[in-house]
Structure 1
Amino acid sequence: MKQFSSFYGMIRSIQDFSTGGNEEMTGCYKIISVINSEGTQVNFVVSPTTYFLDHVMVQIGDMVTGFYDVNAPVPFIYPPQYQAIAMAKDTPNQNVKVDFFDSQLVSRDGQLKLNISIYTPILLPNNQAFTLNPSNRNLLVVYGPSTFSIPAQTPPYKIVVMC
């Protein structure tokens, strides 16, 4: 089961990443180096299946959050190199969380509860409608203000079901 974590910072560089030997895949993978305000750097391997929130194109200098599976194998190198599951460009008044949400729509870490309305768009990564109940799934949630309770409660702006 996936367990998500994130890293927030500024894009320092974007480079092509060779997957080794497969000519067809040349240029399809990227390494995005992100550095936070404390000087810590993380490299994200971005594949054709990495979901970019709102399908935005990122560039050097953008503030982003990269989401990855902490249980996935990671090479023992510095800076750490994670396979990016999703990337979100920083947008004012918008928060993004990727996590497993249970039957009550509470995140696995217990920090966020979703209050979905009939107006909340629930989508697949390809921007098509998801028509089932989003509970008990890995979700990317875009939201704004939330309560100060634990868990914080929010009506999400958008939900993407990470199938």
Structure 2
Amino acid sequence: MANYSTVYGNVGSVTPFHTTVSDHSCSLLISVNTQSMGQINFVVSPQTFVLEQHTFGPGEPIIAIYDTSVPVPLIYPPQYQAVVLAQNSFGYRAALNYFDEDLLSVDQTMKLNIPSDGSTQVLLVNGQNFTYNPGDHYLFILYMSDSMNSSTEVTPRKIIVFCYPDE
């Protein structure tokens, strides 16, 4: 099972990603400056989910999530394949994890509390409303750090449900 890590920082640069001189791929390299880890580069491919299809520019606050189980080149600065990117103008915290039908993450570090008042947006990756229990899916969640009610309970502001073709 995938294990995701979240990075918070500011975009340093956005450049085309080339593996050869004649490469005209559809990938980008986003350099992110972080307080805790310095510079980190993220390869953004057509398969990367970008929340609200935001176009990033230098200086913007960003959330980047990558899969720690994917092999990476041993280079500096480190370079990871981005799985999810989101603009972070409001100082959100984020997570990508598999949540069971009770909305408990598979690593049991987070339990989601979804209020019945509709204050939490639950969307599909295409931006459409998801009207069922989002459990039993991989979920990308955005929440405010002050929404931690206990050591594990989180009230997200937004949930993106990742469905797979056989669902």
| Cα pair distance change 1:157/1:38, threshold 3 Å | closer
1:113 to 111, 114, 125: 111
- How many residue pairs end up in the alignment? 160
Residue 160 (structure 1) shift? 0.5
Q: Which SS does the other structure have where 1:15 is aligned?
A: strand
Matches within 5 A, 1:12-161: 12-18=12-18, 26=24, 28-38=26-36, 40-92=38-90, 94-118=92-116, 119=118, 120-144=120-144, 145-154=146-155, 156-161=156-161
Aligned-pair identity in percent equals 39
CA offsets per residue over residues 18-49 of structure 1, 9 Å max, x none?
255996xx252100011212462111000112
Q: Does residue 9 of structure 2 align to residue 9 of structure 1?
A: yes
Q: 1: CA distance between counterparts of 2:52 and 2:15?
A: 22
Tell me the TM-score normalized by structure 2. Answer: 0.82
Residue 105 (structure 1) shift? 0.9
CA contact (8 A) 2:51 2:85 kept: yes
Q: Which SS does the other structure have where 1:76 is aligned?
A: coil
Q: Which SS does the other structure have where 1:77 is aligned?
A: coil
Q: Which SS does the other structure have where 1:78 is aligned?
A: coil
CA contact (8 A) 1:106 1:151 kept: no
Which amino acid in the other structure matches residue 97 of structure 1?
A: A
Residue 95 (structure 1) shift? 2.9
CA contact (8 A) 2:6 2:94 kept: no
Q: 2: CA distance between counterparts of 1:84 and 1:159?
A: 18
Q: Which SS does the other structure have where 1:54 is aligned?
A: helix
Q: 2: CA distance between counterparts of 1:49 and 1:27?
A: 13
CA contact (8 A) 1:112 1:153 kept: yes
CA contact (8 A) 2:122 2:129 kept: yes
Residue 56 (structure 1) shift? 1.8
Q: Which SS does the other structure have where 1:104 is aligned?
A: coil
For structure 1, list consecutive stretches of 5 or more residues without a partner in the other structure. Answer: none
Which amino acid in the other structure matches residue 137 of structure 1?
A: H
| Cα pair distance change 1:161/1:21, threshold 3 Å | farther
Per mean C-alpha deviation after superposition, the further-off stretch among 110-119 and 7-16 is: 110-119
Residue 102 (structure 1) shift? 2.3
